[in-house]
Amino acid sequence: MYKKYSDLPRDEPRTAPRTAPREEPRTTPTQPQQECACVISAEQKQQIIQSHRVVVVDVYGNWCGPCNTVAPEYLQLSQEFSRPGDCAIVKENVDDGFTPEVGGVPAFFFYYNGEEVDQVTGANIPLVREKLNELLRRR
């Protein structure tokens, strides 16, 4: 039968019955996820646009569900295509107001040789990738 703790002799420890040790979940070491470069001023944005042949700016909002949904895919684009002097893929918070002509977020602005050449509004990363590839093929 079961004993009550009060029924145990005083020399026995009053602990709960032992169970098998709990195994910690096995994880494989991974590199920490990097962040996409974020524009912090209008001057910095202009400098990036002028110093790269191709620039994509993702104008997003922290409060925007679709923006948060496409963020990992946009980060992947950044890691795949960013090259100093050639291609910059950056983010800009819409609440900072550096791009006043935003009609909706996410909005992706494309620059080629310092001039805005295209725009995609909405969470359409395949279209963003397609337009980016078109610009990178230009010489």
Question: What is the secondary structure of 84-111 as a DSSP string?
Answer: TTTEEEEEEEGGG-S-TT--SSSEEEEE
Does a structural domain hold residue 74? yes
Does a structural domain hold residue 61? yes
Active site residues: 64, 67
**What confidence score (pLDDT) does residue 33 get?**
45
Indicate yes or no: pTM above 0.85: no
Q: Give the model's confidence band at 120: pLDDT under 50 very low, under 70 low, under 90 confident, else very high.
A: very high
Interior/surface letters 68-79, b for 16+ CB within 10 angstroms, e for the rest: eebbeebbebbe
CA distances to 35, 44, 99 from 75, in Å: 7, 20, 21
* CATH number for the domain that contains residue 85: 3.40.30.10
- In total, how many domains does the chain have? 1
Model pLDDT for residues 9-36, shown as the tens digit of each residue: 565 555 555 555 555 444 444 444 467 8
**What confidence score (pLDDT) does residue 101 get?**
82
- The parent domain of residue 57 ranges over 37-137
**Percent of residues, the chain, with pLDDT higher than 70:** 76
